[in-house]
Each structure stands twice: as structure tokens, then as C-alpha cells.
């Protein structure tokens, strides 16, 4: 039976590919997502996005993301997984579009550079110390849920947002990048697993970028 979590897979029955092709596929799928996001930011006016009813936007965002995650997590077909990946990339692109519109382009570029550097470092650490990141996976999940709960309480009840929350999210997603990259290279190296791993890493990296951008924007 196919396991629903890509990083828990031990055998899929699919033909494995070389480690080089596997990693190249992960990189290519990630670059595709970033390219789509860049095209969305460059071509979709932010006013068009903000004109959408907030509830319609939120419902559409979560439906698209959840459906996308379900598709790439549950499917063993790389084309289906890639379709699910795009269902995550597009709504994330709308969020990115609104976020970057608030900052100077040079600051956005600096945030991208920092995100790329941090991502590279965490991938290296995930390769070197996969057992460590696997041990802290449960802590990361609990910490993320706690931070999200506190952040929602502050925003909707207290009407404030404290800077330490952004730093906490940065640390958590740094951990997730190391964990996901380490696990991605321990599961069977199939084409579908490469797409699924890229999808998980994409969400880690985008969340990291958005928080780094917010922190740098305050400076």
C-alpha cells in the first residue's frame, strides 16, 4: 500500500533513477515553482489580488493547497504529483505577490539571497546529520503548531504581531529544510519521489523567504 507521507516511503515498486538525476529533478522542479512565482509577481497586478473577497481568497487558497498536498503525497505518478505541486505553487505565488509589493525590489533581492544562502547551508547540514534532524522532527511540528496558534491569537484577538514570532518561524523552517532534504535522500530515488520531495522543500523555502523578508523589512 502506498504510504501517504512521501518521507515515510520505503518501497514504491517503481524503478529507481540515479542519484544525480534524482537530485537534478528535485532542483528542476523547485526552479519551476520559483519561475512560476516570479512570473506571477511580474505579471499579476497586486490590486487584482486584493480586489478578491477575502473569504473567497482564503477558501480558494486552502482548498488549492490541501488538494495539491494530497495529490503529490498520495500519488505514485510523477505527472499527477507535478500537477499537485502546481496547485500549491499558484496560491503561494499570490501570497508572495502581495508580500513583495510592500517592499523595495532591492530589499526583496537581498531577502532572496539570504534565503538561498540559508537553504544551501541547511541542505548541507541535512546531508551531514540526517539522524539529528530526524530526531527533532516531532519538536519542529509541535513548535510550528504552537507558533501558529500564538500568532493567530495575537493577530485576531490582541491585534498585534511580535517580531520574535518571525524569528521562531525562520528557525523552525530552517530545521524543516534540513529534515526534508535529509529524508529526501534516504527514500527510494524514483522520479515521483523527486517531485514530491521538491514540493515539500518548496513550501519550506517559501515560508522561510517570507519571514526573512518581513524581518529585513523592519530594519
Report DSSP state, residue 8: G
Cβ–Cβ < 8 Å for 88, 22: no
Give the integer Cα–Cα distance in Å for 103 and 218: 10
Give the integer Cα–Cα distance in Å for 77 and 195: 10
Arithmetic mean of pLDDT, 147-157: 90
**pLDDT of amino acid 3:** 37
Q: CA 181 from chain center: how many Å? A: 12
The C-alpha angle 23, 25, 30, rounded to 5 degrees, equals: 100
Give the integer Cα–Cα distance in Å for 129 and 169: 21
Three-class secondary structure of residue 95 per DSSP: helix
Cβ–Cβ < 8 Å for 196, 16: no
Per residue in 41-65, pLDDT (tens digit) is: 999 999 999 999 999 999 999 999 9
For the whole model, what pTM was predicted? 0.90
Cβ–Cβ < 8 Å for 76, 12: yes
How much of the chain, in percent, has pLDDT values that exceed 90?
Answer: 87
Torsion, CA 89, CA 91, CA 97, CA 100, rounded to 10: -70
Give the integer Cα–Cα distance in Å for 45 and 105: 15
The mean-pLDDT minimum among 5-9, 22-26, 49-53, 116-120 falls in: 5-9
Amino acid at each position: 500500500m502506498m504510504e501517504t507521507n512521501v518521507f515515510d516511503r520505503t518501497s514504491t515498486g517503481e524503478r529507481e533513477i540515479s542519484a544525480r538525476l534524482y537530485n537534478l529533478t528535485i532542483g528542476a522542479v523547485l526552479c519551476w515553482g520559483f519561475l512560476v512565482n516570479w512570473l506571477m509577481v511580474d505579471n499579476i497586478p497586486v490590486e487584482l489580488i486584493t480586489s478578491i473577497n477575502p473569504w473567497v481568497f482564503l477558501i480558494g487558497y486552502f482548498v488549492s493547497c490541501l488538494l495539491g498536498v494530497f495529490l503529490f503525497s498520495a500519488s505514485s505518478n510523477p505527472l499527477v504529483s507535478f500537477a499537485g505541486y502546481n496547485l500549491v505553487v499558484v496560491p503561494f505565488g499570490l501570497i508572495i505577490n502581495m508580500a513583495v509589493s510592500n517592499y523595495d525590489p532591492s530589499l526583496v533581492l537581498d531577502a532572496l539571497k539570504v534565503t538561498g544562502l540559508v537553504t544551501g547551508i541547511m541542505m548541507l547540514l541535512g546531508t551531514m546529520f540526517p539522524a539529528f534532524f530526524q530526531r527533532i522532527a516531532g519538536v519542529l511540528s509541535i513548535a510550528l503548531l504552537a507558533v501558529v496558534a500564538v500568532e493567530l491569537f495575537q493577530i485576531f484577538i490582541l491585534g498585534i504581531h511580535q517580531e520574535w514570532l518571525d524569528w521562531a518561524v525562520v528557525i523552525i523552517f530552517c530545521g524543516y529544510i534540513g529534515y526534508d532534504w535529509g529524508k529526501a535522500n534516504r527514500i527510494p530515488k524514483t522520479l515521483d519521489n523527486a517531485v514530491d520531495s521538491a514540493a515539500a522543500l518548496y513550501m519550506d523555502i517559501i515560508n522561510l523567504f517570507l519571514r526573512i523578508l518581513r524581518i529585513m523589512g523592519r530594519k
